[in-house]
Amino acid sequence: MGGLRNAEGVLYFLRLWRLARSRLRYLCFDIFLRRFFISDPIGYSLARGARLRKRPSRVSWTMTPVIGITAQQRDVATSYGAQPAMTVTRSYSDAVAAAGGVPLLLPILDPATVPHALDRLDGLVLTGGGDVSPGLYGGAGHEAVYGVHDPRDQSELAIARYAAEKKMPVLAICRGIQILNVALGGDLIADIPSQVDGGFEHFVTGDGAATEAHQAIELEETCGLARLFGTSSLKVNSLHHQAIATPAPGLRPVAWSEDGVIEAVEPEDPSWPLLAVQWHPENLVETEPAARTLFDELIAAARGANR
């Protein structure tokens, strides 16, 4: 009986020792984090949260890429009147999540803070929206230009340039391909119907305009997108009246609509995982395999980036 009690005492002491040692390790780690992130409370919270997860969760958290999705400002109705809000349509976040990423809304930022935000992301979606200001690419004003928001333009110029510098995985959609082109030194067609000879209306409206593939495009047979889709002929949706005029240095056009308007570009540097299209694949993921492929490819590239 005495031997049994002694054994129980030893086991109890070992349990206490393991508990104390575990808490001491945690305390030391927490002190280290506080000192390392002394001027970065967000970084401290993220690092501490990852440390507190159980091991299987931590592995999942590390391997699941976080994708920033650029937001736009809209007024929303509240109980105290209309208020400005940062918004993203669910089609973007749903498409990212369905492909295996964690969607994270990226608000309009002070350009000086862009590196701090993007360094915490594994990939980026540059979304659609209002027109890019013609003044940013030396264009003249046009009566068809709408929805210009200077703070968003300045934020996304900085985001696009930093993403290009870091060769970050990017999916640029509609306005996204346009702001990317301007950020890197290219320019735009301010209004396709009035400025392109033979140009047709690309800004399709009405039922099914966003969710149906109704416009034919042709891709360069040897380009990356054609290999990715397994075809050089594609049908897409079309919700724009602006497009790339002169591609920026380092970008080359690889897809065109029937009136010659550029529908996609690729980087000349093959080490940059950039997907840039003029159509809206986020609205076609339920029906068009090519649309799903774009998001799958973004997530695959982002997984490789976060290792």
List residues with catalytic annotation. Answer: 174, 280, 282
| 134 neighbors 182 (Cβ within 8 angstroms) | no
Nearest residue to 278 (alpha-carbon basis) of 223, 215, 184? 215
Task: Take residue 212 and report the two structure tokens written for it.
Answer: 């149906």
Write down how long the chain is: 307
Q: Which helix (H) or strand (E) holds 265?
A: strand 262-267
Number of DSSP helices (H) and strands (E) in the chain, helices first: 10, 13
Nearest residue to 235 (alpha-carbon basis) of 257, 213, 211, 219? 213
Report the distance separating Cα 293 and Cα 120, nearest Å: 25
Report the distance separating Cα 285 and Cα 72, nearest Å: 22
Angle at 69 between CA 63 and CA 75, to 5 degrees: 145
With 0-12 / 13-18 / 19 or more C-beta atoms within 10 angstroms meaning exposed / middle / buried, residue 218 is: middle
Q: CA 55: distance to chain centroid?
A: 28
Q: At what angle do helices 289-305 and 90-98 cross, to 10 degrees?
A: 70
